Structure 1
Amino acid sequence: CRCGGSLPVSYVTLQEYRCVMSWFLGWTSPQRERFLQDLLGKAVPGKVCTLLDSLNTLQVRDRPPNIFECQLRLWTQWFESWSEEERNHFLLVLEEHDPAFVARFYQSVAGTAGRE
């Protein structure tokens, strides 16, 4: 899998993409919205208010994390291990499955421009 002539995405990364996409397709609208906020926080660190969300996920709870929370944790670990090219390629894969979601993401990123 090559993206614009860049280095091929590794087999492991492709498997991670597939996992995230299968989760994404099964998520409810509120879960996709939470994922969008998480993605924005990764794309525009410091510009999007995700600190509160991060603190909420770190709270000690009486119940174990739900599957969605576990999926987000894995997604974060994988995303942090990907190169910038792999991250950009993931957005292309996501766009193939849900162009409207990715369009909202780009609009939100553009909306943070110039904010301090």
Structure 2
Amino acid sequence: MVVANTNDNAYTPTIVAQIRYLLQWFREWSEMERGDFLPVLVHGFGANGGAINGLLPIMESLCKEDGRPLSLFKCRIKLFTEWVQTWSDDDKESFLSGIRSIDMDFAERYQQKASAYVVSSSEHCNGINGDLNVEEVI
């Protein structure tokens, strides 16, 4: 099933299809590409649920190609950063489960980085510590 994207009349696959695509692409990626994907995944699944203030800083650096078209890998990373913003926690867990079944070492590296990201994420929250209640900040 394909769902219409209201932003630009393009079509976006269902979340189940998005996860299938991403897992297939993950299987095809080299170790270097998986290494490049790791910080994107950590940030996309971070404590704040994904991109903050638009595109990830990582994506911004990946997208600078001096007028040349993006590589296939970078296009796929761009799709991941767009798609993951609409995923539920269950969708994210389904994706991580697929990653674990493909590459347990990568999954363990993700878990280590994600744990460190949560600890240091207060600096990425526009000055608001992610552990505080909204009432405490106001």
TM bin, normalised by shorter chain, reads: 0.7 to 0.9
| Residue matched to 1:66 | 71
| Residue matched to 1:5 | none
| Residue matched to 1:82 | 87
Cα deviation per residue 1:92-112 (whole Å; 9 max; x = unaligned)? 121111111111100112233
| Residue matched to 2:51 | none
Runs of 4+ in 1 over 4 A off after TM superposition: none
Structure 1: stretches of 5+ with no match in the other structure: 1-10
Conserved 8 A contact 2:100-2:106 = yes
Amino acid at match of 2:37: F
Conserved 8 A contact 2:42-2:117 = no
Pick the structure with greater CA Rg. Answer: 2
With the length of structure 1 as denominator, give the TM-score of the two structures.
0.74
| Residue matched to 1:29 | 31
User: Structure 1 residues 60, 26: CA separation in 2 closer, same or farther (over 3 Å shift)?
Assistant: closer
Q: Give distance in 1, aligned partners of 2:91 and 2:19.
A: 10
For residues 1-40 of structure 1, what are the structure 2 equivalents within 5 Å?
A: 12-40=14-42
Larger relative contact order (CA 8 Å, sep ≥ 6): 1
Aligned length, in residue pairs: 102
Cα deviation per residue 1:27-63 (whole Å; 9 max; x = unaligned)? 11111011111011123368xxx62x23313436221
SS of equivalent to 1:114: helix
Q: Give distance in 1, aligned partners of 2:64 and 2:74.
A: 12
Structure 2: stretches of 5+ with no match in the other structure: 1-12, 49-55, 123-138
User: Structure 1 residues 58, 65: CA separation in 2 closer, same or farther (over 3 Å shift)?
Assistant: closer
Q: Give distance in 2, aligned partners of 1:45 and 1:113.
A: 6
> RMSD between aligned alpha carbons?
2.2
With the length of structure 2 as denominator, give the TM-score of the two structures.
0.64
Structure with higher strand content = 2
Equivalent of residue 100 in structure 1, options 105, 111, 128 = 105
